[in-house]
Amino acid sequence: MKRSLAALLGAAVAIPLVLSGCSGDDEDSASGPITLTLAGWSFATTPEFKTLADGFHATHPDVTVELKEYDAANYDTQMIADLAAGKAPDIYAQKTLKNFYTYQNGKQLLDVSDVAQGLGDKVGGMANYQVDGKTYAIPYRQDSWVLYYNKTLFEKAGVKAPDGSWTWDDYATASKDLTGKLKSAGSKAVGDYEHVWQSTVQGFALAQSQGASIESADFSYLEPYYTRAVDLQNAGAQVKFGDATTNNLTYQAQFGKQQAAMMLMGSWFIATLLKQQAGGDADKFDWGVAPAPQLTKATTGKSATPVTFGDPTGLGINPKLGKNKVAAAKAFLSYAAGVDGAKALAGIGITPADTDAVKDTFFQLQGVPQDELTKWTFATHDTKPENPPGKYTAALQNILNDLHTAVMSGSKPVGAAITEAQDRAKNEVLNK
CA distance 266 to 148: 9
Which one is predicted more confidently, 8 or 302? 302
Phi-psi region of 251 (alpha: psi -120 to 50; beta: other; left: phi over 0): alpha
CA distance 377 to 164: 8
DSSP string, 122-157: -STTGGGGEETTEE--EEEEE--EEEEEEHHHHHHH
CA distance 255 to 93: 28
What sign does the CA torsion over 301, 304, 306, 312 have?
A: positive
Q: Are the CB atoms for 28 and 22 separated by under 8 Å? A: yes
Separate counts of helices (H) and strands (E) for the chain: 17, 13
Average pLDDT of the residues in 329-346: 95
CA distance 377 to 290: 6
CA distance 311 to 360: 23
3-class DSSP assignment, residue 225: helix
pLDDT at 359 over 80: no
Please give the pLDDT value at position 194.
Answer: 98
DSSP string, 56-119: HHHH-TTEEEEEEEE-STTHHHHHHHHHHHT---SEEEE--GGGHHHHHHTT-S---HHHHHHH
For 36-64, b/e burial (b = at least 16 CB within 10 A) is bbbbbbeeeebbbbebbbebbbeebebbe
Domain 5-143+311-358 shares a fold with domain 145-307+379-430: yes
Q: Are the CB atoms for 178 and 155 separated by under 8 Å? A: no
Q: Please give the single-letter amino acid code of residue 186.
A: G
Average pLDDT of the residues in 264-288: 94
Domain 145-307+379-430 sits in CATH at: 3.40.190.10
CA distance 28 to 21: 9
Q: Which of 168, 166, 187 is nearest to 178 (CA)?
A: 187
pLDDT digits 0-9 by tens, 234-245? 999 999 999 999
Sorted by where each begins, the domain ranges of the chain are: 5-143+311-358, 145-307+379-430
Please give the pLDDT value at position 2.
Answer: 53
Q: Are the CB atoms for 140 and 353 separated by under 8 Å? A: yes
The answer, as to whether pTM is greater than 0.75, is yes
Please give the pLDDT value at position 422.
Answer: 98
pLDDT at 28 over 50: no
pLDDT digits 0-9 by tens, 360-406? 778 888 899 999 999 999 889 899 999 998 899 999 999 999 999 99
The angle at the Cα of 96, spanning 78 to 115, to the nearest 5 degrees, equals 100
Please give the pLDDT value at position 348.
Answer: 86
Domain 5-143+311-358 sits in CATH at: 3.40.190.10
Residue 273: pLDDT band with limits 50, 70, 90 = very high
Please give the pLDDT value at position 5.
Answer: 42
Q: Which of 132, 126, 88, 144 is nearest to 333 (CA)?
A: 126
Please give the pLDDT value at position 252.
Answer: 96
pLDDT at 1 over 80: no
Please give the pLDDT value at position 332.
Answer: 98
pLDDT at 409 over 60: yes
Q: Are the CB atoms for 350 and 138 separated by under 8 Å? A: no
Average pLDDT of the residues in 82-107: 95
Q: Between 393-408 and 414-424, two packed helices, what is the crossing angle to 10 degrees?
A: 160
Strand order in the sheet with 91-94: 63-70, 34-41, 91-94, 312-317, 138-142
pLDDT at 3 over 70: no
Please give the pLDDT value at position 31.
Answer: 59
pLDDT at 10 over 50: no
Please give the pLDDT value at position 9.
Answer: 40
pLDDT digits 0-9 by tens, 47-88? 899 999 999 999 999 999 999 999 999 999 999 999 999 999
CA distance 148 to 408: 22
Q: Which of 87, 164, 224, 187 is nearest to 379 (CA)?
A: 164
Facing residues of 401 across strands?
none
CA distance 47 to 355: 19
pLDDT at 11 over 80: no
pLDDT at 21 over 50: no
Q: Strand 138-142 to strand 312-317: parallel, antiparallel, or no bridges (unpaired)?
A: antiparallel
DSSP string, 265-314: EETTHHHHHHHHHHHTSS----EEEEPPPBSSGGG-STTS--EEE--EEE
Average pLDDT of the residues in 262-280: 93
pLDDT at 20 over 50: no
User: How confident is the prediction for the chain on average, in pLDDT?
Assistant: 91
